[in-house]
Amino acid sequence: MSQNKLKWHDRKTSKYLGKNVPRVDGPEKVSGHAKYTYDIILPGMLYGKFLRSPYANAQVKSIDVSKAKNMPGVHAVISDIATQARFAGQEIAAVAAESEEIARDAINAIEIEWDVQPHSVETLIAMRRPDRVSEQRGQTAGGDPNNFWSQCAAVVEGEYYAPVREHLSLETHGVVARWDGPDRATVWVSTQAVHGVAGDLSGAFRIPAENITIICEHMGGGFGSKFSAGTEGLYAMRLARMTNRPVKMMLERYEEQVASGNGPDCFMKCKAGMTADGKLLAIDAEIYGTSGNSRSYNIPFPYIYSVPNTRVKIFAVPTNTGGARALRAPMHPNASFLMETVLDELIAKLNLDPVEVRIANQGSDVRANQLRLGAEKIGWDRRNKTPGQSKERFQRGIGCAVSTWGGGGGRGSECNVRIGRDGNVYAGIGTQDLGTGTRTLVAAIVAEELSIPISKVKADIGRSSLPNSGGSGGSVTAASVSPAVKSAAYEAAQQLLQTASTILGVPPNDLEFKDGQIRSKSDPSKSVSFENACARLPANGISVTGGFVAGLQRGGVAGAQFVEVEVDTWTGHVQPIKVVAVQDCGYWLNKLTAESQIIGGVIQGLSMALFEDRKMDEPTGRMLNPNMETYKVLGALEVPEIEPILFETHEQVAGIGEPVVIPTAAALGNAVYNATGVRIRTLPITPKRWFDALETKR
């Protein structure tokens, strides 16, 4: 069979693929033995620390590091990182010392004279200044929306806002850097891209990429913020070179929150109209958001809906804040919140069925079926036909929203599968496991192909010295990695069948792998155990490298989510009750971890809806909540029942890490409206916002 005809195993007869496969690294993780970058401790290791600008816009007039340099235990000081700070938190100087405490003391001992300049940190203030705003490419379709309002049966007009959110990875960004020679280094990095970081550092220090080994066995969350070596990577390397000792530089929590990326906000002025039969006719929108100092900004709007007469203007609002980085499905949750809220308002005005109107205004049969399935699962008929009809204190309601994503794989991944004479099987690929279960799917694919226990397969990932694989972003990892693993395992299996053929005297095409045996399909009594077949291999066993096979993956996934909430109308507290998440994912490799992705995405979406809000302080230019106490996220008590539904549309692998986070916040907002008749156009939906919106309604 040629590689192009490779197919995934039928789930009806498979042992691992498509089944519930517990993580192969689960035991290490639940026992605290898994070593993350943060956990690396090397002999003679120093601790690196940054001095960060306390000002949002300021120039360094002079810097005096003499006191820091002379402190006992301080080994190196760097004072030339930047002379101009563009946000409060920007790296200015760095030290390496024998303990973290000493490093902090040294940072505090650095004296800087600043020339403090005017700043602007709040999007909603900065956007009013034309000199700061820069127009981006927007969207247009059909005619001027203003010509169509008279043809609409319902028109809504309003202002909507979703704030800057943070990745809040639990393991902060950081590295442990060790030079092994003048042009060789080993660097432990908490990263989503071991090969990418090797490239970054190779370029920055002008040494061959193969001389740098990036190691990331386990990493504590990235969500789009951990692709590059980062400032911490560059300066840990420099400090390590200066001191000739390994340097550990893990960001502290406040540093993580001010300087390691965020997801931009979106402020929208919008007017939209719908015909009496529930068709979107026209939309006119202006959207503003900040990506930090950058003059670029984008948001997909009007999201998945086709509106015949569209004018969307998009504006970047540069501010003196930390730079944006991709945040799980970049800007899709924002776009979904804006568009689905507007849409829901129009539907409510016409008293139509939100599910049917959504189906009618988009073009995907898959999504239409998902909406119908989700409606059935949540009990759509239970929703309030008149929003806010209840007179009780606790009022329940249901809302929905939809998503789109790519999630297909890409070329460039290679996997090395080896079968040893001792029966040990190895699969090596330079990808990384963000917590999505990549290591487990590598092992599962090989175990399935050879019909051996998964415990017999050593899945080796998380090092740049392994065969090439891309960064884990865009939900492409499963769909990029799995074809390479599958094709390598398939070729290795074919080679082992040759050996078994000699042993059994049966042609290879009559042989199959079955429960640890290789046996004849026509005469199952002719068989040899996997181990015995391996024992007849040449001394160096089998080693095969496989690459991408387009036919094993496919992108383009749709999703639909339904959220039920209960609102305490005495306190304004919104409690999620149940979420049904229907996600198109093609051929799911591991049901257990695929469902965990969905559950986790929903939880992050609920967290966005109810809590997350980066607060900047315009007078001081600083972030007010750079900690986990005041940058709130969803916790144990707010978590509802979540029903993940894997919606199979084809037999090819597609990624789902990002799409599952997209529609939740919008669906929750729509549920709050259905429960109480109160429409909230600003996230997060706090008790205060609910009461404010109630006042407006009155």
Partner 1 sequence: MSENSKDSKSKKLSRRQFLGTAGSAIAATTLSGSILSGAVCASKHKESTGAQSPDAQGSVEVSLKVNGKSQTLRVQPRVTLLDTLRERLSLTGSKRICDRGNCGGCTVLLDGKPIYACMMLAVDAQNKEITTIEGLATPQNLTELQKQFVEKDALMCGFCTPGFVMACHAALKANPNATREEIKQACRGNICRCGTFNRVFEAAYAIAKPKT
Task: Please report, as ranges, the residues that interact with partner 1 according to CB under 8 A.
Answer: 20, 22-23, 25-36, 38-39, 41, 43-45, 70-75, 98-102, 168-172, 218-221, 223, 252-253, 434-437, 592-593, 595-596, 599-604, 627-629, 633-637, 639, 641-642
Closer residue to partner 1 (CB): 242 or 592? 592
Tell the smallest beta-carbon distance from residue 436 to partner 1 (Å). 7
CB of 165 or CB of 519, closer to partner 1: 165
CB environment 505-531: b (16+ within 10 A), e (fewer): ebebeebbbeeebbbbeeeeebbbebe
At closest approach, how far in Å is the CB of 686 from partner 1? 19
User: Is 505 within 8 Å of 441 (Cβ atoms)?
Assistant: no
Q: Cβ 448 to partner 1, closest distance in Å?
A: 19
The three-state DSSP-derived secondary structure of 41-70 is: CCCCCEEEEEEECCCCCEEEEEEECHHHHC
* Least separation in angstroms between CB 262 and partner 1: 14
- Closer CB to partner 1, 33 or 536, in the complex: 33
Torsion sign (Cα): 146, 150, 154, 159: positive
At residue 283, what is the residue type? I
In angstroms, give the least distance from the CB of 193 to partner 1: 16
Report residue 180 as tokens. Answer: 């092994």
Q: 3-class secondary structure for 83-112? A: CEECCCCCEEEEEEECCHHHHHHHHHHCEE
Answer whether 451's CB lies under 8 Å from 15's CB: yes
**Edge-to-edge strands, sheet with 174-181:** 74-78, 91-97, 46-52, 247-250, 174-181, 184-189, 212-215
Residue whose CB is less far from partner 1, 1 or 637:
637
Q: How far is the CB of 567 from partner 1 (least distance, A)?
A: 20
Least separation in angstroms between residue 698's CB and partner 1 is 35
**Bridge partners, residue 316, by sequence:** 134, 289
Decide whether 34 or 82 has the Cβ nearer to partner 1.
34
Supply the minimum distance, in Å, between the C-beta of residue 17 and partner 1: 16
- Residue in the block written with tokens 């750079």: 626
3-state secondary structure of 252: coil
* Distance in Å, CB of 163 to partner 1, minimum: 18
* CA 387/CA 353 separation, integer angstroms: 12
* Helix 230-243, helix 194-205: angle, nearest 10: 50
Q: Tell me how far apart the alpha carbons of residues 83 and 63 are, in angstroms, rounded to a whole number.
A: 9
Amino acid identity at 600: G
- E strand or H helix at 203: helix 194-205
